[in-house]
Chains A and B, each alone.
Chain A
Amino acid sequence: MNSSNTREALMQYAVRLGDDALILGHRLSEWCSNAPFLEEDLALTNVALDYIGRARMFYGYAAELSGDGRSEDSFAYLRDCREFTNLLLHELPRGDFAFTMARQYLVDQYALAFMEALLQSADAQLAGIAAKAVKESRYHLRRSRDWMLRLGDGTEESQRRLQAAVDELWGYTHELFELDDLERELVAAGVAVDSEALKPAWEAAVRATLDEANISVPADDWSVRGGRQGNHTEYLGHLLSELQFMQRAYPGLEW
């Protein structure tokens, strides 16, 4: 790769990580004033803030790399569905509380390992963002893992709901560990995380948690992918219509 290609690839990578963070952050923020009780409301919105902060850092870096006057807001508010490159797991509707916590647990277990690996990136800015994120993800995981045990080992209803959530989410987790050409090139350059390599440890940790939570591990008999290529579920457009409404209706609006 020549240097302008590398820069473009790095920008796209930063946008991908920004998209993951923004979309999940938005889903979590939907719980604001809707959570089952006050402490959970605070917790979910605090985690949402961590993710939205992460998105700002990744988009801010992408904007800097683009060198064409784009800002973090251009990435968040002025792109359509097909231009978003988040992994599909992040965009699924929040569902019930069990669904939200099951998704969060699966993501947290992944995000912690991902950010620990990104700490080693040859790119100083990505490593710097990871240094902040890794500390937050440690807290996120402690909490979401605790909820897995409480719901799975709770009432008949909470166990049933959690099992249904895990079953529905499982097919979306495979995509977390797949690399395309862009990421393979950046892995070779020491910049990106080799997410394929994260799978064995992730799966071992998740299986242990599910066992402890009385949840059976779903079969690997279906999987969905496409987020990194801009092929999304029907849900993302609805999310964006809410997220982007103000900037679309009043372009350039500032608080």
Chain B
Amino acid sequence: MTQVADRIPALPAEEHERRQRRARSPVPALWDLLDEVKDPEIPVISLWELGVLQDIEQRGDTVVVTITPTYSGCPAMTVMAEDIVAALQAAGYSQVLVENRLSPAWSTTWMTPAAQDKLRAWGIAPPGCGSGAVAAAVSCPRCGSQDVRELSEFGSTACKALYQCNSCAEPFDHFKPI
């Protein structure tokens, strides 16, 4: 039994809880509504798929949205909060409050497999399901080759590193596993 458990990557407990919060939410329509809010820099994945959207609650007349920042200084976080407010206001919810939750710290292991596929199709090598030191093999999003090299630990944004494919020469971003 333990062998099987070792081989199958388990869903992190906090990600399981996040999915439960959505599944049991008394306001499912609001979650569906915010599925339309995408990462401002990667407009193919939603804040939910990215793992940033943590909770939505209705407190009286106010909709309270809880998000977890990806990186401490990520400038996109401000845009994400503004986009959330705009999407809810456009749907008639005038009172919106966006709260930041730091802990548990955001991890790329919260990204769904579907989101990882979308990243690859968008030209970004996805982080895989490991984190930190246990980085998965990086493969070229264009030709699939694993013969790649890291050009820089940092790419166009804090969450990405810059790679180049040795097989097809494509330079590409790799979403860093953290």
Contacts and interface: CB of A to CB of B under 8 A. Distances in A.
Interface of A: 25, 39-40, 42-43, 46-54, 56-57, 124-125, 127-129, 131-136, 138-139, 142-143
The residue among B151, B154, B176 with the most chain A CB atoms within 10 A of its own CB is B154
Interface residues of B, number: 24
Contacts of B153: 43, 139, 142-143
B73 A49 contact: yes
A49 B75 contact: yes
Nearest to B152: A39
A132 B102 contact: yes
B82 to A, nearest CB: 13
B9 interface: no
A217 B162 CA distance: 33
Interface string B57-86: 000000000000101111100000000000
A52 B154 contact: no
B87 interface: no
Given A39-B151, A39-B162, A42-B156, A49 B103 contact: no
Interface of B: 69, 71-75, 101-106, 132, 151-158, 162, 176, 178
18 contacts: A25-B73, A39-B162, A42-B154, A42-B155, A46-B157, A47-B154, A49-B73, A49-B74, A50-B71, A128-B105, A129-B72, A131-B102, A132-B69, A132-B102, A133-B72, A135-B105, A136-B158, A139-B176
